[in-house]
Amino acid sequence: MNIRFYNAKILTMEEPVQITEGELWVSKTTILYVGDGTNKDKVYEKNGNHPVIWDREIDCKGNLLMPGFKDAHTHSAMTLLRSYADDMPLQDWLNKQVFPVEAKMEYDDIYHLTKLAVLEYLTSGVTGVMEMYLDPYAIQEAFSECGMRNVQVSGINKFGPSLEEMENRYLNLNGKNELSSFMLGFHAEYTCTKELLESIGALAHKYKAPVFTHNSETALEVKECKERYGVSPTVLFEQLGIYDFGGGGYHCVHMCDEDFEIFKKRNLIAVTNPASNLKLASGIAPISRYLKEGIPVAIGTDGPASNNCLDMFREMFLVTGLAKYYDGDASSTDALEVLRMATVNGAKAMGWKDCETLAPGSKADLIMIDLNQPNMQPVHNISKNIVYAGSKQNVKMTMINGKILYEDGSFYIGTEPEEIYKKCNEISKRLELEA
């Protein structure tokens, strides 16, 4: 479809970051024009002086268009465990609550539970996710049917799948459609043998590919890794060649000086998950140090069992709020930097160069923020207000790849929300989670 947005405030996230007023045009999956409307003749010239035929013209009524948020770490189908596995330390949470239930989950379960997460992402203005969970074939099918952009990361560990299967997934799941891709990765150091980690490093070299993993999430994780190998998880991964072609880590809370040096050397990305880290008492990530060291930071929600909601507004506020508390400095970690983390840096983590900003030629992944809400008035600094005062109630529309999937409380993903809710509750009952 060709869609014209007009009478809009526009935050492209291009440097220097500023808000302008004007129009944004979408042609099929791509942004065709962004501007004040005075230079649109250049677009017509490129189009052979033919005017664009609009399928729809949307009066934004002064509301804000901006890039969609990128949830750079999540486990979508853990919607099943929302408010079921709570108030426990991480290791007990995993071993006593999460892993036993996950062992019972089947293809259809993961498929429907992932769709439930998609509904929540769309209401939070999320246009792309970096996923790590069970059965990537079921996950890719669910995301593709809904129209959600995604990159999956392998969660291989000593319990499975095999290294051969991970490589098959890497080969088979890449290139299936323009919305989906698959990256090399593994669950964590503490769930992998050294032989498996060595093999992952070899695979990274074979494909010259980046690798992502849970890294230094808890003090216990780092302590036990040092007891096993004499070094931190990051140093171990460096020794095994796992990070030679880039990638990054999820959480990255308990990091030493040598870890920071490796992240800088390998151009790695730290993905922070503040709500999950608080709920599981894992700690507060040293965000301002990453920024001072020039290490890019992206933001993830983590899964809805450890969060328990997929809300990027809450994550953004916690990133800056916790950084200020951690540093004892109210000027630490400016809101605009956090907005970059949630948009531009998330796209960088996922390898989506054409999804970082709103610019001609970029993918039409964008959201409309309703400024005509009490929490957005009066209008002083919209960018900061999104981080400090914004909420899901301000997401008026979510567009991915040129398609409006959520608008004014209605979903357009090919399945009715009520049907998804019914399926997910049936799954919960079958697996006896109510007990």
**Are 108 and 254 contained in the same domain?**
yes
**Are 346 and 390 contained in the same domain?**
no
**Are 37 and 89 contained in the same domain?**
no
Question: Which residues are registered as beta bridge partners of 411?
Answer: 406
Q: What is the pLDDT of residue 17?
A: 93
**Are 278 and 404 contained in the same domain?**
no
**Are 45 and 84 contained in the same domain?**
no
pTM: 0.96
In the numeric block, the tokens 């299936």 are attached to: 176
CB atoms under 10 Å from CB of 157, counted, come to: 17
In the numeric block, the tokens 């060649």 are attached to: 241
Q: What is the pLDDT of residue 45?
A: 64
Residues of the chain below pLDDT 50: 435
Alpha helices in 342-416 (DSSP H): 346-349, 382-388
* CA proximity to 136, closest of 158, 155, 159: 155
Could you give the number of structural domains in the chain? 2
**Are 164 and 283 contained in the same domain?**
yes
CATH of the domain at 63: 2.30.40.10
Q: What is the pLDDT of residue 84?
A: 86
DSSP 374-407: GGG-S-S-HHHHHHHT--GGGEEEEEETTEEEEE
* CA proximity to 346, closest of 376, 322, 327, 319: 319
Which residue segment(s) compose the domain that 186 sits in?
Answer: 76-353
Joined tokens for residue 12 = 């492209």
User: Rounded distance, CA 265 to CA 51, Å?
Assistant: 49
Residue 259 resides in a domain: yes
Give the residue from 311, 338, 353 where a domain finishes: 353
Q: What is the pLDDT of residue 86?
A: 86
Q: What is the pLDDT of residue 433?
A: 79
Q: What is the pLDDT of residue 435?
A: 46
**Are 133 and 262 contained in the same domain?**
yes
Residue 432 resides in a domain: no
**Are 278 and 384 contained in the same domain?**
no
**Are 130 and 181 contained in the same domain?**
yes
**Are 326 and 389 contained in the same domain?**
no
